[in-house]
Amino acid sequence: MEKPRSAPPAPLKAVLFDAYGTLFDVYSVALLAEQLFPGRGQALSVMWRDKQIEYTQLVTTSNGGAHYRPFWELTRAALTYALKRLVPDARADWASGGFDAKVEQLMNQYRHLSAFPENREVLQALKAQGIVTGILSNGDPAMLAVAVKSAGLGDLLDHVISVDTIHKYKTHPDAYALGLQATGLAARQIAFVSCNSWDALAATWFGYQTLWVNRNQLPFEELGTQPVYSGASLRDVLALPGLAPQPLGGAAA
């Protein structure tokens, strides 16, 4: 794990994780997509994800959030767009319902995304130290509840925080502020962990001690700010300097 280039930060009392892309593999839908649309599965999974994130930013920044829609609806809209772009018959067959069953299959797969295998190990280790754990996600509460239950992580998370309560998606600062409200801690006392570089950057700007998990060895965003820490695996969370064990059963003030 890369160390920060400045003085050591404050002791950490909580770790919050992004959900989609960090704990749950958003590209695990590619296998089913390939079965349903041979030769286009990987491209479909990538465009679906890119358009999903684009839609969250669009509805957050336009007209004061008047066009907000829950993450599940944006996920379906993004899938519809990606199919119409990548599958030649999609536009013609859409009106007749020719793709309805396949869309439902893919949406159900998204509801039960594969969890990264190290999730439970990392969360168990944090809980053993008395560190407060949680998810801070764009996902709406119903989506997150299913994903957490499917992955068997419910007993290891103190908080599952959805931006749906404020109708503003990340990277809006109000979305990141939900972590402070839930834990009662200052941003400098919380590690925010994300595999999405845009998310790690915005969380760094907000003031979290960030860990960007760069599984695919990609360059970071070129906007003059680096994450506080970078790593290649979720296990790098356990090597964060400043983890401050707390009494089991709740966050410290």
pTM: 0.90
Domain boundaries, the chain: 14-24+114-239, 26-111
pLDDT by residue (tens digit) across 81-116? 999 999 877 766 666 666 788 999 999 999 999 999
Please give the pLDDT value at position 233.
93
Please give the pLDDT value at position 208.
97
pLDDT by residue (tens digit) across 203-239? 999 999 999 999 999 999 999 999 999 999 999 999 9
Say how far apart CA 159 and CA 179 lie, in whole Å: 9
Which one is predicted more confidently, 242 or 86?
A: 86
Average pLDDT over residues 10-14: 89
Average pLDDT across the chain, whole number: 90
What residues act catalytically?
18
pLDDT by residue (tens digit) across 139-174? 999 999 999 999 999 999 999 999 999 999 999 999
Least trusted range by pLDDT, from 9-18, 122-131, 150-159, 167-176: 9-18
Question: For tokens 């990277």, what's the residue?
Answer: 171
User: Domain 14-24+114-239, what fold?
Assistant: Rossmann fold (3.40.50)
SS (H, E, C) 141-198: HHHHHHHHHHHCCHHHCCEEEEHHHCCCCCCCHHHHHHHHHHHCCCHHHEEEEECCHH
List Cα–Cα distances, 140 to 75, 93, 163, 190, 231, in angstroms: 11, 30, 7, 22, 28
- Which of 174, 108, 143, 171 has the alpha carbon at shortest distance from 23? 143
State how beta strands 209-213 and 190-194 pair.
parallel
Pick the CATH number of 26-111 from 3.40.50.2000, 3.20.20.100, 3.40.190.170, 1.10.150.240: 1.10.150.240
